[in-house]
A and B are shown apart, each in its own frame.
Chain A
Amino acid sequence: MKKKNFAFLALSVLLAGCAAFSAFNAPAVVAEEKKEKISTYQQINTYDTVQDVMECNYAAMFGKADINTDKQYITQGEGSARLEVWGSFFAGTTYPYMEIRLNGNDVLDLSRLKNVQFDMFNAAGEKSYVEVALSIGEKTTNFQKIDLAEGKNEVKIAYNVKGMAGGYDMTQGKKLLLRFPKKTNAEEAKTNVFYLDNVGLGMTLKAPKAYEMTFDEGEFCSFDKNYQEFITNVGGVSTGDSYPILSVNKDKAYSMNCEGKSLKVECQPQITAGGAVYFYLMEDIWHKFDFETLGAEDKYFTFDIYNDTRTDENMNIQIWRKRGDSVVAGNYNRYVYRYTAKAGQWTTVRISIKEWVTPGMPAYNDEYVLMGYDKDLGLYNYGAPMFFVPKSDQLKVFYFDNFRIENKENA
């Protein structure tokens, strides 16, 4: 009996232990199952079908794109995209580019974006390059140039979301843009061939916290703060290679008063009949300031510019009226402020904000641009002011610093 009881007891203990063991582990297992799987990779397109190739915009006389099944040019799946890049053959025309949709007609949340990845075979018979940008919301990031050796290139481009989140709504990722060099005739274009495969996005596990957009007293943008690197962009009527190249300069020799950082603007050589190009600070930063009140207080918008060339340069800033979400251009709905950047020195440019906000003040072609906010419509009525740079067949460099709001007496 004792033996039986012992056996029974042992069995009970064993069973109890198993039960206890199970009970101990069960919550952990449940928690694992309940945990969401967070992927650190988002596949965008592996170009396995013709439809995959077609689901892309090919712009600026791109050339042609086909499905490729030659395995030597495939890194993922059953196919890749064969790109025969033409472009418009005339100098001074926009470079050909393709826009790869990130999520069909929907947007893709890029808050955890770490990098853009793709494999690109350069079969053009020479070294080449591709420029990469992202279309996020209504904005496009600056293009980053990636050199392509002949043969296979595994491309990975890092993005700093902490900085970007200040100027871009990272939940609104739309397209990946790839811009290519172009050729000057059809024969050359037929050999300007690349193969694209395995397009995807590297993601972090968590969305980083964006840099906060803070301002010191009187500061508009000093380029000393880390978020300020990400609030500039370029625009204008241009080919791919004549937009200015922007970067934050750390060489104090080119910062005002040899302090902090500044914005380096490298104006690329372009043929003289090319379009006008500019850089701008994103609307987000302009919207942080109440220009109507600043104008009423008779404040000044001021910045410093260093002209690192040998000749004085006539430049201008333009503010264009906005209607709804669109900037109105054609009917001269714009304000223009002209200034001269003296060669080899810093020039301080001071603009009365009152000119921007007061009806009746002179403006280009008698149209008035009011930098205000329509509360009823919930819209700003101006686009981001555009800092036009000079056109030249030579490289010209300028440094912009210390965008600030000043009292009239300091002006």
Chain B
Amino acid sequence: MAKKWLKNIMALSMAAGMVFSAACGGGNSGDSSSSAVEPQPELEASLRIAYAEDKILQSYEGTSSLEAFGERFSGYLMNDFSIAAFRNEHESRHVVITPNIDVAAYDLSVSDFKCGNNVLPASAFDLRHEYYHEVSTIMSSDSTMQPGMYPDAMVPLSAAKEYKLNKIAANENQAVLVTVKVPADQPTGVYTGTITVTLDGKEEKMSATVEVLDYTLPEQVQVKSAVQLTTGNLAALEADVTQERYDKIVSSLNDFRLSVQWLYGMRTDTTRDDVVQATADEQIPYMLKAANDPKVSAYGFSTNGKADPVYGGSLNTDWFMIFLRTYVEASLENQVDLFEKAYTYMGSIIDEPEQSEELMNKVDYVCQQYNDCLEEAATYAAELAALDTYEGTQEFAQSLIASILDVEHVVTTRIDSPGGYDLVDTYCTEPQYYDSSAKVDDYRQHRENGGDYWLYTCCNPKTPYPTIHIDDNGVSARVMYWMMRDYDISGYLIWEVNGTGDGFPDYSNPKTLYGIEQYEDVMRNNTDVGDGYYYYPGKVFGLDNSVPALRLFYLRDGTEDYDAITDLENNLYPALSQKYGATLNASGVLDEMYSYMYNLNQVHCTSADVAKAKTALNTLMVWANNGVAISDYKILSNGNVSTKLYAPQGVEVKANGKVLTGSESGEGVVYTIDEKAATLSVEACGQTLELGCETTNIFTIDATKVSFQNAKQETVENVSVAVNKYEGVDTLKVEATEDVYAMFYELEKDQITTETETLLVYVYLDAPEKVKMSLNVRGKARRIVDAVYVNPGYNVLRFDRLCDLEWNKIKEATQLVFTFDKPETVTTFTLNVEAINVVK
């Protein structure tokens, strides 16, 4: 419901109007009746709240599609301003103001928020006027967004007022992004305060709450990032190409939990050893600072290319060694490990090598060059540490040597590249290539073998893959980090953060934009909206700093979610495992939370889904901080929810309102839950976690319901299928012969529909090795859900968000299709399928 403004201006207006019209009527026509002024309608305005991830357009009027789009988003709007956040965390909301008449000047302010004697000061809030930019084309044909006026530049409200941006046209939306950064020492509690909106001098106050949760997000940013900031591009941004300006942007990026690739901006591409040495020397103070700065997760080493008679271009190893030796010397002298946070990304030497045969051919060569340089640097470090003049510790030197050999070499390619590389250390690829759970497992195996893997986005892919484009909703950017955490992707690369005109300022390209023009034309790229630039000129509004894009706020929210989960899994749960004498793991409950938002690598969810996942995460973090941990969460084949809850002695734990009784486990108590529950509500420490689901078993142990094909899509007749008892459990036993490629299971009507969320397959595999299995849903069309590895033994295979499949093509699901990709060592295998459950 809109909040209405009751004004007494009618009388005043009429009086003024009458005065105005009397003066004018006498002067112009002498006919007082013809100069009567229409009374201005009373000012009425609605104030509504939206999740930060929902981009609220300036207007939804124009076309029927846009109006329908507006109706969809209006459903996401709320009346109450209410945020829950950890200490040291940022959370944002849009306050959306929609007046019925033109407003010449609006303002918004926030009071101190109070909880008893504790104060969350107004200074903890950041207020941004949302600048709207015309998006004339939505670049993805799969997107459900509509062309219109999109918010992106987040102008400080004070500057917006000074430069008179704070006008609102009648019936248009003007949002203010309100962000709270909860101080690291803020006491826990629910804080209440007031948001005051002023329209042309008239105030309206709304009550607001911020719940400060009992958990502190660590200072150190965990998820790595490599953000390229090209110094020359600062000319177009702020007419300021100096290290000082560069530092300002770097500092801003750090505030958004992002780390720039090159700490020292005044890199030069000259061709001399002395310049290279001078550049390396200049970098050291920046690196020393960054090595100890918790806001910096990573930084890049400098590399240069050189002409190569065989490969066209390769790493200039002489110069790279100048840099590495300088870094080694500085590390030993200062006893600061400059290699620990470092990585190398050779964007100008081997970038996206699949673009050409020539590039692919040199990847392994350049990787070998790189590895050789690291070896040489490590040897150099050892030599220096062995000298009498070395004043540091041998322990540090050994640790440094290990760090040197471990510096990641990030290559923007993928594990299944046609290049077939042997030596790539860290793969960095786009989300569309993380296209199955099995593929993710391959990357995990690569990590176990000593490598790593990152993610990057660019002009491609587009929706429904995650993007940080202007014409995509903000849900996508935040969910991207949940995906990264889910798939253990350790870093994110942004190829350029300040580019204009198709990514770079091209001074001969008429599309290069100057000053305020950058606000006015966001369609500057040919292929996308917004890729390559995330800052707008601040100088045009008298600001010392550049104006960040809304999309940076999304990235920060995502990194904070990522880092909280990392803290949970890597620190809090291991500590609690020790405390309770058990191996705790949160993966089951986290899988539940991930399933609220996506399956694999596409984002179809809403901000409400993200909020649901974040609320669950809030509970997990508060619990963990207070010694409470939910572990081993799973949905059993019989539809029961099974989980354990560990808690300190004396902490009351309830499930669905019932106080649980537990047993001793280490220094605490373990509570076991195993029950069928559509909703399982678990309470502890004042926080409630809502879990559970309504499951239905759609699998009938009936041999007549399955059939088989070979790779040529020919029926395979001689497969043995029988009702079986496997380890005491009723199963359908399938003895797949060598030529079995696909198994079809006949569904009953409406067993899988557009409302199906999750499908769980409970199966035993008898085979010498794991087998890759794809699950497809077939109706009029067939669509793949995922490909997973089935390991020998018992497997619970989870497939989420079947509702996101192309149901307009599938129409009605008639079959589940399982296809098998066997390794060479596996010719035949046996499956014992226990159950297939669906969750709606």
Interface residues of A (CB under 8 A from B): 50-51, 53-59, 61-66, 84, 86, 88-90, 92-93, 99, 105, 186, 189, 273, 275
Contact = CB atoms under 8 A, between A and B. Distances in A.
B184 interface: no
B514 interface: yes
Contacts of B814: none
10 contacts: A50-B542, A53-B539, A54-B537, A55-B514, A58-B241, A63-B241, A63-B242, A64-B241, A66-B240, A90-B270
Contacts of B75: none
Nearest to B272: A273
Contacts of A53: 239, 539
Contacts of A61: 231-232, 241, 266, 268
Among B235, B236, B275, B507, the most chain A Cβ lie within 10 Å of the Cβ of B235
A54 B278 CA distance: 31
B241 A62 contact: yes
B271 A273 contact: yes
Contacts of A105: 510
A88 B539 contact: no
A99 B507 contact: yes
Interface of B: 231-232, 235-236, 238-243, 245, 266, 268, 270-272, 275, 278, 505, 507, 510, 512, 514-516, 537, 539-540, 542
Contact of B514 (A54, A89, A90, A275): A54
A64 B245 contact: yes
B667 to A, nearest CB: 58
Contacts of B516: 51, 54
B272 A59 contact: no
B272 A65 contact: no
A57 B241 contact: no
Given A54-B239, A63-B241, A90 B510 contact: no
A90 B239 contact: no
B507 A50 contact: no
Contacts of B241: 58, 61-64, 86
Contacts of B242: 63-64, 84, 86, 186, 189
B272 A57 contact: no
Contact of B505 (A51, A57, A84, A92): A57
Contacts of B240: 58, 63-66
B245 to A, nearest CB: 7
B502 to A, nearest CB: 15
Given A57-B512, A59-B507, 18 more contacts: A51-B514, A54-B514, A54-B515, A55-B514, A56-B514, A57-B505, A58-B239, A58-B241, A59-B235, A64-B245, A65-B239, A65-B240, A66-B240, A66-B539, A88-B270, A90-B268, A92-B272, A186-B242
B486 to A, nearest CB: 42
Contacts of B238: 64
Nearest to B511: A105
A182 B278 CA distance: 17
Nearest to A84: B242
A88 B239 contact: no
A93 B268 contact: yes
A131 B403 CA distance: 49
Nearest to A96: B241
A50 B540 contact: yes
A383 to B, nearest CB: 16
A56 to B, nearest CB: 7
Nearest to A55: B514
Contact of B270 (A56, A84, A93): A93
Nearest to B274: A90
Nearest to A61: B241
B217 to A, nearest CB: 36
A50 B162 CA distance: 15
Nearest to B276: A90
Return the 9 tightest CB-CB contacts between A and B, nearest first: A54-B515, A64-B240, A58-B235, A65-B239, A105-B510, A55-B514, A51-B515, A57-B507, A90-B275
Contacts of A89: 266
A57 B236 contact: yes
A53 B537 CA distance: 12
B283 to A, nearest CB: 14
A50 B514 contact: no
Contacts of A99: 507
A275 to B, nearest CB: 8
B264 to A, nearest CB: 12
A189 B268 CA distance: 17
